[in-house]
A and B are shown apart, each in its own frame.
Chain A
Amino acid sequence: MADGLRVYRLMVAAKIRSAWQYRTSFVMFLFAQATITSLEFVTILLLFDVVPDLGGWDRREVALLYGLATLPFAASDLIISPVERLSVHVRAGTFDRFLLRPASSLLQICAMEFELRRIGKLLPAVAVLWWAMAGVDVDWTPSSVGLLVLALTSGTVIYSALWIATASLSFWIVATQEATNAVTYGGQFANEYPLHLYPGWIRAVLGWIVPLAFVAYVPAVALLDAPNPLALPDDLVYASIPVAAATLVVSLRLWSLGIRHYQSTGS
């Protein structure tokens, strides 16, 4: 495990050194990613110019929800989303290389396709969360901060599992990146708004199928004293831990099944 992480670190460092040779492109992408993420939040702020609240939640409360959704997404986007390049490697046959080395194939692909410029999403997410934390009516005691850390951690795990699971599909089907992005990016977008705004079937999907409700909405309800029309119990936030663990286990299982399928088809 420690060895694996050291190999990962060295391979990521190698990728950053490689990317540094194309500095201009790096800086432009970093800027673009930061801008896009910021604009998403600006859109939400503009909504508040028209309406006083979103489902009873005010500006800062929605901002906290946004931060809780975006920060884990950006973190998983930086660390795990490189796995979506699997479809390219499977098609080009370059995935074989990862199977011929004594390191986890998942870890290798995440390191080989690492893009530091994705950090551009992380910065606005941190800024918004900070701004929201300063303004919401929450007493930031050790226990509420602990809750926040728990939410951010399990949120990152849930998003990561989603990336791994959706990427694994390309072991079976060709050209899935667009379809799977609908789940990951689409799910993230849905997560930026209070869950009770959505019709029942979307809530069911986000609660039970791709459990993204546990990333932001459930912890936000627990932390905030905001309207809770779904009457979710505050303690539901602790379910995020088993939910995150379960999604991770399922996704890793899917990955290893995918490798076995790859080995039998040689696609």
Chain B
Amino acid sequence: MARWFETHLPKIVLAPSFIAVLIFVYGFIGWTAWVSLTRSKLLPKYEIVGFIQYDRLFASPRWDTAMTNLYIFGGMFIVISMVLGLILAILLDQQIRVEGAIRTIYLYPMALSMIVTGTAWKWILNPGLGVQAMVQGWGFENFKFDWLVNPDMAIYTIVLAAIWQSSGFVMALFLAGLRSVDTEIIRAAQIDGIPTWRVYTAIIIPSMAPIFLSAFIVLAHLAIKSFDLVIALTGGGPGYATDLPATYMYAMAFSRGDVGQAASSAMIMMLVIFIIVVPYLYSELRAKND
């Protein structure tokens, strides 16, 4: 009996969380998929009518805007955060003084919630209160920085705030990566007289490939599920110029009583995440089997 218990203990301990994940994650994904095929309005209905919600979704100009914004926001957020994080990490890696303090300063924005970040940047970027008013107050009357209220530029304010928040975190990831590179190889390269920048581009960065991948996955899912930052910073406006898929889904499900439409947009969001994550999982699993 005791032996049986010992061998099965891990399974017994894991079972509740496994069942919970099965129901609350995969079960509800399935439920959402089902609802997205119905004509659900205020309350979910279960009669399947086909892909009508997806037709409506793709015919909606607001959804187009949301997806375009996702590409702009996601692309710029991921690329700039990673580049900035890498540069900061390399600079910090030069055995400078008070590294610990500087590292904390850069990492600190991560400790704020997106709502706080969004509200603070809303005030900083508000033309009547923030940077524009300040510089104009210095006497530069023609200075203009009205991205927040300009529908063509507003999405970039969200990129700006998100990068401010996340690049410190990316820096920490890369710093850990830099430190894990074998110092013997670097010393050998230095003895051979190879310039420092070549050491970075040819040895250190390539050996950090897994860190790049982790950073990319973390940033990508942050980008796709972004919601609170938009709500706090622009409220989706001006107009719906800064709508993202997550805010679109919220509007449909909770403000407009259009549950079927919300479910179909949620499914598309999940599909986008799959497209990014599945190759990652595939490469991970293959690496383990090798």
Q: Do A and B come from one complex?
A: no
Query: Could you tell me which A residues sit within 8 Å of B by CB distance?
Result: none
